[in-house]
Amino acid sequence: SAPLDVERIREDFPILQRRVGDDVQLVYLDNAATTQTPNQVIDVFGDYYRGYNANVHRGIHHLSQEASIAYEEAHDRLAEFVGASGGREEMIFTKNTTESINLVAYAWGLNELGPGDRVVLTEMEHHASLVTWQQIAKRTGADVEYIRVDEDGRLDMDHAAELIDEDTQMVGAVHVSNTLGTVNPVADLAELAHDNDAYIFVDGAQAVPTRPVDVEAIDADFYAFSGHKMAGPTGVGGLYGKKEILEDMEPFLYGGDMITKVTYEDSTWNELPWKYEAGTPLIAEGIAMAEAADYLDELGMENIRKHEQELAEYAYDRLSEFDDIEIYGPEPGPDRGGLVSFNLDSVHAHDLASIMNDSAVAIRAGDHCTQPLHDKLGVAASARASFYVYNTREEIDVLIDAIDDARELFS
């Protein structure tokens, strides 16, 4: 593995040259919300709409065949990117991680869950997983239990082993927490689930962009991610599912392209993954997401993971210099992804973020769609700095200086 050549990488992202507010150089540290998009991915849209825009699924004419092949091969590429040996048959394109989770919660959960069944989540789940499984459990009479997060932001695996039992039908777990940065032992959770004949759905929104992911090594039954978090476009995401499960599961959305034969009485379904992709899909977006996978693989996923770990370590250490800053989540190391959530005493996270903004530092403040976790932490909101392949230590120094400004202002 090799350190990332950040200066060269930054040339691929023109937006990073932006000057904002009072003509100040942008420092973009909100990558857990969405990452920026390299020229290589942006160019896909111009090439597509200027060169081979057509509806997919093998129309008779040249353009449709070109668009179909590119869109279908994008599925093979993303399957390969997450280690799915079944290729496109195990890779459904959705709108985003949220829709990927909803697809399984509706298509599997509504039909398979009932009173006496259990869904086990973690206390650090994002609302995309927590609210979805919570509401499907409510509609089906199943119950939901939450694996405890201990005081240093890690999952209590003894508690996990207690909760995941013979009544458990589904385990939902975030791979990398978007609030704590915790990297969870999802392969161990998968083993606990499978020992109890339950499925596991891993939320990989913050993992796929930032580290090597191998869904078969994890033995995930389902694995979700979003294009816009992996240097790709908004509007498209991926749902990996084991082929044998996707074969049995009911479709989520009905309509064109997901069928084989339709009569007035009934219909039969298309082959995988098209059975789960009704209507005209996000064609250019799917092709662009495959380009993003190529871009990241070119940098090296292990190199990206190391870069993120180093930046998180540096940010954690610099923030730890001050006794008026509280940091959430595990200490730096392989268990912490490339983000740090924190609070500055006596300054509300929103006020802090808006002062950061005066210095053109873009961070996020709020509950990061993990309200129950913030309740557990005893805070309404937190500030979060999150890093990616184009961020530098110098940008973290600007963050620290801007926090100093906030401290001055509010002292």
Q: Considering the rule CB under 6 A, would residue 183 count as an interface residue with ligand 7TS?
A: no
Q: Which of 37, 68, 96, 169 binds ligand 7TS (CB under 6 A)?
A: 96
Only segment of 143-151, 201-209, 304-312, 400-408 that touches ligand 7TS (CB under 6 A): 201-209
Closer residue to ligand 7TS in complex, CB, 126/148: 126
- Residues 334 and 18: their CA atoms lie apart, in Å, by 32
Question: Which residue, among 29, 3, 1, has the nearest Cα to 307 in the 3D structure?
Answer: 3
The single residue of 259, 369, 379, 380 carrying the catalytic annotation is 369
Q: Are strands 382-386 and 364-366 parallel, antiparallel or unpaired?
A: antiparallel
Site string for ligand 7TS, 214-243 (x = CB under 6 A): ------------x----------x------
Closer residue to ligand 7TS in complex, CB, 132/140: 132
| DSSP one-letter code for 90 | G
Q: Which of residues 108-147 bind ligand 7TS (CB under 6 A)?
A: 126, 128
Q: Let me know: does 35 contact 208? Beta carbons within 8 Å.
A: no
Only segment of 95-103, 135-143, 251-259, 371-379 that touches ligand 7TS (CB under 6 A): 95-103
Q: Considering the rule CB under 6 A, would residue 97 count as an interface residue with ligand 7TS?
A: yes
- Residues 286 and 72: their CA atoms lie apart, in Å, by 9
Q: Considering the rule CB under 6 A, would residue 275 count as an interface residue with ligand 7TS?
A: no
Tokens 């032992």 locate to: 185
Q: Which of 149, 205, 325, 406 binds ligand 7TS (CB under 6 A)?
A: 205
Angle, helices 39-51/283-299, rounded to nearest 10 degrees: 150
Question: Which residue, among 51, 28, 74, 39, has the nearest Cα to 360 in the 3D structure?
Answer: 28
Closer residue to ligand 7TS in complex, CB, 205/389: 205
Q: Alpha helix (H) ranges present in 320-385? A: 349-358, 371-377
**Phi, psi (5° rounding) for residue 237?**
-145, 180
Closer residue to ligand 7TS in complex, CB, 193/205: 205
Site string for ligand 7TS, 304-323 (x = CB under 6 A): --------------------
Closer residue to ligand 7TS in complex, CB, 270/343: 343
Element (H or E) spanning 361, and its range?
Answer: strand 361-362
Only segment of 35-43, 108-116, 200-208, 353-361 that touches ligand 7TS (CB under 6 A): 200-208
- Residues 15 and 36: their CA atoms lie apart, in Å, by 8
Q: Which of 20, 33, 54, 245 binds ligand 7TS (CB under 6 A)?
A: 33
Tokens 């459990």 locate to: 137
Q: Using alpha carbons only, what angle is made at residue 193 by residues 206 and 225, rounded to the nearest 5 degrees?
A: 20
Only segment of 108-116, 152-160, 319-327, 364-372 that touches ligand 7TS (CB under 6 A): 364-372
Closer residue to ligand 7TS in complex, CB, 96/134: 96
Q: Is 285 a catalytic residue?
A: no
Q: Considering the rule CB under 6 A, would residue 368 count as an interface residue with ligand 7TS?
A: yes
Q: What is the 3-state secondary structure (H, E, C) of 107-166?
A: HHHHHHCCCCCEEEEECCCCHHHHHHHHHHHHHHCCEEEEECECCCCCECHHHHHHHCCC
Per CB under 6 A, residues contacting ligand 7TS are: 32-33, 96-98, 126, 128, 174, 178, 203, 205-206, 226, 237, 364, 368-369
Residues catalogued as catalytic:
369
